[in-house]
Amino acid sequence: MSAFLDHLPEFWQGLIVTLQLTAASFAGAAVVGLLIAAMRVSPVPVLRGIGTAYVETLQNLPLLVLLVLAVFGLPEIGLQAGLQVTATVVIALYEGAYIAEALRSGVNAVASGQGEAARALGLTFGQSLRHVVLPQALRTVIQPIGNIFIALTMNTSLAAAVGVVELTAAANRVNLLEAQPIPIFVGAGLAYAVVAACAGLVTGRLERRLAVVR
Amino acid sequence: MIRVQGLNKWFGEHHVLRDIDLHVAQGEVVVVIGPSGSGKSTLCRCLNRLESAGSGEILIDGVPAPVEGRELARLRADVGMVFQSFNLFQHKTVLDNVMLAPMKVRGLSRAEAEKTARDLLARVGIAEQAGKMPGQLSGGQQQRAAIARALAMRPKVMLFDEPTSALDPEMVGEVLDVMVQLAADGMTMVVVTHEMGFARRAADRVVFMDDGQIVEMAEPNAFFESPTTDRARSFLAKVLTH
């Protein structure tokens, strides 16, 4: 255990980077997911097609492949950014596809009469989505989106493979010095578990607070 | 106010509306009756393009109904619709349900929209329910709230798609009373219903549909006392014996 406690500053630094990656890429994924979900349920066939292509492409490629491709491929075509920024963007784009699918299932769960009533009142497609359909859809997908948040938190550890020194990379570095994998990785694992447990608490609360009387 | 000419509609192979011609004058109340599957709800939904027409023409207030986009939204703002299943927005209070479209579509301020909404809720007799969620109301109250929501847009025409079919029997009366009052106030209305009593009481004209066609069209007294077609006669014999 001392191997873990002796290196708390390194772990702490790694955890902060993990939290930064998680927060920034989740925010990005939420925006991307909202846009793609809106495209996938829109009445315009071209937009639906683009949305579907996006989801199919990003869900069918491993995140690690995308990370490696972005980190080593983008500089080849002249796009250079910091490792952490690149990783954040890639994770946001990847998880955005999952959020889009969760939102779409929520939209499909809203009774079709709700959208019809909104349109019958003269609301445009965008307005009925924004004021009527999405607020109800979001309530039904709080739990799945919480799960995506947790998965995203765990997925940030893949950034270690492309040189971002987040929690997993920090643990790995400490282990190279101390060679005591069990306390070191159990400690790192516990830190991830705490983040995930917090996410679970928040989603449970949100779900109860926003429940719709039917 | 509404003019429908040569309207045809197919659901796949199924020909649900056949050569419908219908003219509804300003201030007129037209009640559409007929057996299930006769196309009367589809006709009603075509009038504000919740269903697209296969062929034919629909004019609202002399203007051809736009096919899509903002123009269509503008048309729908002027055509109120009341659904069988109420379709109140489940996540908003009754008051917010009534205020939403006037604010977002007509650009009314919150204060103006709230004043209109409260007046309308009082008019349909549920002023004290304004702060509740739709799920906390009875079916009859929900449907009256839905009527208030449609009226808040000051529509030129009101469409009713079987407004009382999902209600418990003791709540049908309270909704029909609101509709009768609305008709008396001079609203142009198209009402798809199974309520023959309402047709007799409030209709200027009864349209009888069967198998996607308008079979008979007459004033209520003439229609109920002496229907001219066999199909109308057998339909009336079935619904009026109880």
Token duo for residue A99 = 């959020």
Q: Which residues from B are below 8 Å from A212, CB to CB?
A: 90-91, 133, 135
pLDDT on residue A213:
60
Q: Cβ separation of B104 and A131 shorter than 8 Å? A: yes
Q: Which residues from B are below 8 Å from A119, CB to CB?
A: 50, 73, 76
pLDDT on residue B63:
85
Q: Which residues from A are below 8 Å from B134, CB to CB?
A: 213
Among chain A residues, CA nearest to B151:
A121
Decide if A153 contacts A192 (C-beta within 8 A): yes
What is the spatial distance between Cα A60 and Cα A194, in angstroms, rounded to a whole number? 29
Helix/strand/coil (H/E/C) assignment for every residue in chain B: CEEEEEEEEEECCEEEEEEEEEEECCCCEEEEECCCCCCHHHHHHHHCCCCCCCEEEEEECCEECCCCHHHHHHHHHHEEEECCCCCCCCCCCHHHHHHHHHHHCCCCCHHHHHHHHHHHHHHCCCHHHCCCCHHHCCHHHHHHHHHHHHHCCCCCEEEEECCCCCCCHHHHHHHHHHHHHHHHCCCEEEEECCCHHHHHHHCCEEEEEECCEEEEEECHHHHHHCCCCHHHHHHHHHHHCC
Q: Which residues from B are below 8 Å from A131, CB to CB?
A: 100, 104
Q: Does A136 touch chain B (CB under 8 A)?
A: yes
pLDDT on residue B231:
93
pLDDT digits (tens, 9 = 90+) for B49-89: 999 888 999 999 888 888 878 889 989 999 999 999 999 99
What is chain A's pLDDT, residue by residue, as a tens digit (214 residues)? 677 888 899 999 999 999 999 999 999 999 999 999 999 999 899 999 999 999 999 999 999 999 999 999 998 888 888 999 999 999 999 999 999 999 999 999 999 999 999 999 999 999 999 999 999 999 999 999 999 999 999 999 999 999 999 999 999 999 999 999 999 999 999 999 999 999 999 999 998 888 766 5
Among chain B residues, CA nearest to A113:
B87
Q: Does A120 touch chain B (CB under 8 A)?
A: yes
Protein fold of A2-210: MetI-like fold (1.10.3720)
Decide if B124 contacts B174 (C-beta within 8 A): no
- Could you tell me the CA-to-CA distances from B187 to A37, A102, B202 in Å, in that order? 40, 44, 11
3-class DSSP state of A114: helix
Token duo for residue B85 = 């299943």
Q: Cβ separation of B50 and A114 shorter than 8 Å? A: no
Q: Cβ separation of A131 and B100 shorter than 8 Å? A: yes
Nearest Cβ partner for A116 among B50, B80, B134: B50
Q: Per CB distance under 8 Å, which residues of B are interface residues toward A?
A: 48, 50, 68, 70, 73-81, 83, 85, 87-91, 100-101, 104-105, 133-136, 146, 149-150, 153
Task: Flag whether the ipTM exceeds 0.85.
Answer: yes
Pairing state of beta strands B157-161 and B79-82? parallel
What b-and-e string marks burial along B180-214, b requiring 16 or more CB atoms within 10 Å of the CB? eebbeeebbbbbbbebbebbeebbebbbbbbebbb
